[in-house]
Amino acid sequence: MTLLNVLHWKQRQPADCLAACSAMVLQYLQVPFQYETLVELLETKFYGAAFSKIRKLETLGLHVSVGDWGGVQTLAQHLPTGLPILANVNTKELPYWNREASHVVLVIGLEANSIVVHDPAFDEMPKYIALQEFLLAWDEQYQQYGVIGLDQIEG
């Protein structure tokens, strides 16, 4: 199993999960940033930010790939290349959540029967989620995914 060495960031406000996951990736890629600038760039509101706003990271000179219905094959494609994947999920299907919300987590590992994520809403990381539970949560959000890299992203 590939488990990427990404440092965990906890979101500072209830609605800035996209910014927190983006911060984890930028720090991992050694791209300088200020958290408040990310929150603003991603147009984060009191209720969150549209997942597609991660494309705005291209203004920082990064390459961003965003798609729907990514599937396990998308995770298996990008993780071995050293790129974590942002995944838009519905928390009602995640066993460690007690409420429903549209939420972004950062996938850092894939095993035969589980997914490993950093969830910016929680302190203790990483979280190991049964593959079927993760897929249910991801399906609820059309398996939206995003990959951020320094170079052009294949796939």
**For position 155, what pLDDT does the model report?**
63
**For position 1, what pLDDT does the model report?**
72
- Measure the CA–CA gap between 54 and 23, rounded to whole angstroms: 11
Domains (ranges, CATH) in the chain? Answer: 17-149 (3.90.70.10)
Q: Is 130 helix (H, G, I), strand (E, B) or coil?
A: strand
pLDDT single digits (tens) 27-42: 999 999 999 999 999 9
**Would you call the peptide bond into 120 cis, given omega within 30 degrees of 0 as the criterion?**
no
Q: In which residue are the tokens 């989620």 written?
A: 129
**For position 2, what pLDDT does the model report?**
74
Residue 108: what residue type?
I
Concatenated DSSP letters of 78-124: HGGGT--EEEEEEGGGSTT-SS--EEEEEEEEE-SSEEEEE-TT-SS
pTM of the model: 0.96
Q: Which two tokens stand for residue 31?
A: 């791209």
- Measure the CA–CA gap between 34 and 75, rounded to whole angstroms: 28
**For position 152, what pLDDT does the model report?**
86
pLDDT (tens place) for every residue of the chain, 155 residues total: 779 999 999 999 999 999 999 999 999 999 999 999 999 999 999 999 999 999 999 999 999 999 999 999 999 999 999 999 999 999 999 999 999 999 999 999 999 899 999 999 999 999 999 999 999 999 999 999 999 999 888 76
Q: Is 26 helix (H, G, I), strand (E, B) or coil?
A: helix
